[in-house]
Structures are given as structure tokens and as C-alpha cells.
Chain A
Amino acid sequence: MKFLQRNCRQVTELVLAGEDRRLGLFERWSVRAHLEVCKACPRFVRQVKLMRQALPRWRAYRESLD
């Protein structure tokens, strides 16, 4: 499964790309495979998730300001 191997930089890129486009099957597999063996990247994934959840609230927050 060597062709699926990605380093942290490449996985980070795919994780962020997932916010703006749909990832392909191989891309998703390679991310998943990396996350299973990496300690650092799952934290980044959680950070991205937090940012994704924060943004709609940020829209509401800024439009409610006086």
C-alpha cells in the first residue's frame, strides 16, 4: 500500500482541501491511513473541525455587532 503513503505536510494539504472540494477516493484513503499511524495530524484535523464549526458562529457574531 506504499502508493497511499503521505507525509504530514501532504496530509495537511488534503485535510484543508477537503474544506473546499470533495476529495477523491484515494485521497481519502491515504488521509485515513496516515491518521491511524500519526499522533500529530489527528490534532490538526480536530483544529480544522473547530474552525469549521466556528465560522458560521463568527458570521452571526459579526453581523450582530452594533
Chain B
Amino acid sequence: MSDFAEAVQALRPQLMRFAHAQLRNDAWAEDAVSETVLAALAKPQAFAGQSQLKTWLVGILKHKLIDQIRRHSREVSATTDEDGEDIDGLLFDETGTWREAPAEWGDPEATFGQRQFFEVLEVCVEELPGVQGRIFMMREWLELGTEEICKELKITATNAWVLLHRARLRLQMCLQERWFGHKPAAV
């Protein structure tokens, strides 16, 4: 095997992790990664060292992930019970008032200076349920607009907004619980 092929293969496990976080399905993730590796090995001259190998491969992977999403759009957008859970009901009473007022999270820069914060954020994103997780990843990791998300998944904009709304609320709750609720009072 050439050095290039070896370097590409060595990054496979990392590509698998990204693919799985996006698709949440082993078989589809495996397909997306295999297609990425094949595409990379078929065109080594396209790499030409203009960026890091990993960055280049992740760029290819993102396209392959969108192909998978398109191919399996019906299953990708099949909501689970967890997707339907009324997150707002946990946070607000019948009059629409906060059951418990949101906490002060303090200075963002101080938070971003801590690497562990991003580990927690990563866990919180990975724990987003089913379709919410996939759509959130499409929006925030693949950086797709809601219009494109709706087109690929064949869902309505309202549907996408509801799922993104719940995903963002879950993320807020998770960060409060796992990070901000644990650190000493904000300065």
C-alpha cells in the first residue's frame, strides 16, 4: 500500500465516528465512509497537500453523508417517540411562564477557554434523539440551510423548525445540567 493509501486508511475510524454521529446508523455510516475512502484513493492528485489530509477527507465525507441522507430520506426523517416529547412542557407552566428561570451562564469567552466544555457539548449533541439529532447535525455540522434540509428529507419547513426548536431546547437543558449547573457561580 502506498503511504497515501495508508494515511487515508488510518483516518477511517475518525471518519466513521463523524458519519455515525450524523446518520446514527451503522450500515449507512459504513457506506458513506467506504465511498469517501474510494473517492480519495481514486484521486490522490486532488489532495495535492493543499490542506490537512483529514480536513480534505472530512470535506469529501460531508458530501457522501448528504448522498446517504438523500438515499434513505424516508428512514432518516421517521420520527420516534422521543422526537415527539413535549420539551416545552418541562420548562414552562400552563400560563407559559418559566417553571424555573434560566440561569446566568456568564462570560462566553471564559467558557470557550475550557476544552472540557466542548467535550460536554459534543456529548449533548450526540445524545439528541433520532431525527432531531440528525437534523441538528445537518444544520450545525453540515451547515445546511433549512430549505436544503427540507428538500433532502422531503419534510415541510414547519416540521423542520419544530424539530430544530426541540433540539436546541434539549441542548440548552443538557448544557445547563452537565456544565453550567456544575461550575461555581458565574462571576
Q: Which residues of A contact B (CB under 8 A)?
A: 7-10, 12-13, 16-17, 19-21, 39-41, 43-44, 46-51, 53-55, 57-59, 61-63, 65-66
* Contacts A19-B168, A20-B160, A63-B58 supplied; 5 other A-B pairs, CB < 8 Å: A16-B165, A43-B105, A51-B175, A54-B118, A62-B118
A63–B17 alpha-carbon span in the complex (Å): 11
Chain A residues in 8 Å Cβ range of B58: 63
Which residue of B54, B88, B121, B168 contacts A58 across the interface (Cβ within 8 Å)? B121
Number of interface residues of B (CB under 8 A): 40
A-B contacts counted at CB < 8 A amount to: 94
Q: Please, which residue of chain A has its CB at the minimum distance from the CB of B93? A: A9
Which residue of B54, B111, B141, B164 contacts A54 across the interface (Cβ within 8 Å)? B111
User: Which of B88, B101, B160 is packed against the most chain A CB atoms within 10 Å?
Assistant: B101
Contact B102 A40 (CB under 8 A): yes
Contact A13 B165 (CB under 8 A): yes
With A10-B96, A59-B141, A63-B58 given, is the CB distance from A20 to B161 under 8 Å? Answer: yes
Contact A63 B105 (CB under 8 A): no
A31–B103 alpha-carbon span in the complex (Å): 19
With A7-B95, A48-B172, A54-B121 given, is the CB distance from A17 to B108 under 8 Å? Answer: no
